[in-house]
C-alpha cells in the first residue's frame, strides 16, 4: 500500500489532481505525470463505482496514491471502493462531528470502526494478503473530510478533533455558495473560512487541504497553512489543451488555405 497517509501525518506537503472522466487511460496519464495523489470523483465525475476498479488498476504502477471521493455518506459506498484497493476516501459535505465519526467508522475495521470484513477482494490480494492488509489498513488508509458549508465551519473544531480524521479539505465552490459569495475566493468571508479551517486542523494535529485554480496560488495557500493541495482535473486539462491547440491552429488557418480559395 502506498504511504500517503504516513506522509500526510508527518506534515509533508503533497499535490494532487482530480479524475472526473471515469477513464482508466486519463487516470494512467495523470498518475504517471508526477502527482503525489489523485482523487477519483464519484460525486461529480462521469464514472461510476464500476469504473473505479479500472482506474485503480491503471494507477497501480504509478507513484500516485488513489483517493476516491464517494457520492454519499452511506457505509456501503466506502466499502465498495476500499475493497477494490483505494488508498483513501474523500467524504463530501461533512457538517458536524457525527458525520466525521461515521466516516471514520466506515474506514476502520472493528473494534475501532464498522467496516465489513471480506477476504476475497482486490485490496486483500484475493485472499493472499488478507492478514497483512487488515493489520495495516486502519493506519494506512487516508480519511479526507470536505468542509463545504457554514455548518461545517461552525463545527470545525469538533470535526477536526475526531480520531481518524486526517485532512480537512475545503470545497471552494460549494463553500463560497453556502457563504453567499459564490466564486469570490478573495472575499474576506471566504478567506476567514480558509483560515479557520487551517487553524482547526493545526490545533488538532491534522492537515488542511484545498483545490486551487492554478499553480500561482500555491504559495498563497501554503502561507495560510495548506499542505494537501489539489489543482485541476483530467477533464479540465484535456479541455484546456484541446481548446488552446484548436485556437492556435485556427489562428493560422491562412497558412494552409488554397491560394485561389478552392482546390482543383
Catalytic residues: 44
Element at 220 (helix H, strand E): helix 218-223
Helices (H), 3-42: 4-9, 24-31
The 3-state DSSP class for residue 74 equals: coil
Which residue in 165, 89, 80, 164 sits closest to 123, CA to CA? 80
Task: State the Cα–Cα distance between residues 77 and 92, nearest whole angstrom.
Answer: 12
Q: Are 113 and 103 in contact (CB under 8 A)?
A: no
Angle at CA of residue 108, ends 210 and 122, nearest 5°: 90
Angle at CA of residue 83, ends 30 and 171, nearest 5°: 50
Spatial neighbors of 20 by CB under 8 A, at least 6 apart, are: 41, 44, 45, 46, 47, 233, 234, 235, 236
List, in sequence order, every residue forming a beta bridge with 91; answer none if it has no partner.
Answer: 145
List, in sequence order, every residue forming a beta bridge with 212; answer none if it has no partner.
Answer: 231
**What is the 8-class DSSP label of residue 76?**
H
Which residue in 127, 104, 126 sits closest to 115, CA to CA? 104
Amino acid at each position: 500500500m502506498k504511504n500517503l497517509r504516513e506522509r500526510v501525518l508527518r506534515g509533508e506537503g503533497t499535490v494532487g489532481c482530480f479524475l472526473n472522466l471515469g477513464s482508466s487511460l486519463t487516470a494512467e496519464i495523470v498518475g504517471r505525470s508526477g502527482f503525489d495523489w489523485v482523487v477519483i470523483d464519484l460525486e461529480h465525475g462521469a464514472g461510476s463505482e464500476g469504473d473505479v476498479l479500472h482506474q485503480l488498476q491503471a494507477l497501480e504502477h504509478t507513484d500516485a496514491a488513489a483517493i476516491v471521493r464517494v457520492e454519499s455518506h452511506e457505509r456501503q459506498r466506502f466499502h465498495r471502493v476500499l475493497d477494490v484497493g483505494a488508498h483513501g476516501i474523500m467524504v463530501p459535505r461533512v457538517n458536524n462531528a457525527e458525520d466525521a465519526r461515521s466516516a471514520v467508522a466506515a474506514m476502520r475495521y472493528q473494534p475501532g470502526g464498522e467496516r465489513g470484513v471480506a477476504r476475497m477482494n482486490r485490496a486483500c490480494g484475493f485472499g493472499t494478503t488478507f492478514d497483512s492488509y487488515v493489520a495495516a489498513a486502519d493506519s494506512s488508509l487516508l480519511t479526507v473530510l470536505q468542509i463545504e458549508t457554514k455548518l461545517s465551519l461552525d463545527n470545525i473544531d469538533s470535526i477536526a478533533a475526531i480520531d481518524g480524521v486526517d485532512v480537512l479539505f475545503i470545497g471552494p465552490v460549494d463553500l463560497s455558495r453556502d457563504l453567499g459569495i459564490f466564486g469570490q475566493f478573495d472575499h474576506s468571508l471566504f478567506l476567514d473560512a480558509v483560515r479557520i479551517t487551517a487553524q482547526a486542523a493545526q490545533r488538532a494535529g491534522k492537515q488542511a487541504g484545498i483545490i486551487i485554480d492554478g499553480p500561482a496560488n500555491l504559495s498563497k495557500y501554503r502561507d495560510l497553512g495548506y499542505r494537501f493541495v489539489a489543482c485541476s482535473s483530467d477533464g479540465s486539462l484535456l479541455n484546456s489543451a484541446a481548446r488552446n491547440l484548436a485556437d492556435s491552429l485556427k489562428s493560422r488557418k491562412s497558412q494552409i488555405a488554397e491560394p485561389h480559395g478552392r482546390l482543383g
